[in-house]
Amino acid sequence: MKVFINTIDFITGVIRLEAFLNYNLLVKLFVAIGRLILFQNTFSKGGVLW
């Protein structure tokens, strides 16, 4: 019975880890898109952001 509980804990841990990594990927994606939009806006105005 203890092995069964440990297996469930392991599976939920893996699912949480995957969700966390996917969340980080989403954040990075949004940041990249935001930077791209900012860069295009400043570039079209003739100013450089960095």
Task: Give 16-32 pLDDT, tens digit per residue.
Answer: 999 999 999 999 999 99
Tell me the CA distances in angstroms from 11 to 2, 16, 17, 36, 48, one per residue in order: 14, 9, 10, 37, 47
The proportion of the chain whose per-residue pLDDT surpasses 70, expressed as a percent, equals 82
Tell me the CA distances in angstroms from 47 to 14, 21, 33, one per residue in order: 45, 35, 19
7-21 average pLDDT score: 91
Model pTM? Answer: 0.51
Q: What's residue 29's pLDDT?
A: 93
CA-based torsion, 33, 38, 41, 42: positive or negative: negative
Q: What's residue 9's pLDDT?
A: 92
Q: Is 37 exposed, middle or buried (0-12, 13-18, 19+ CB in 10 A)?
A: exposed
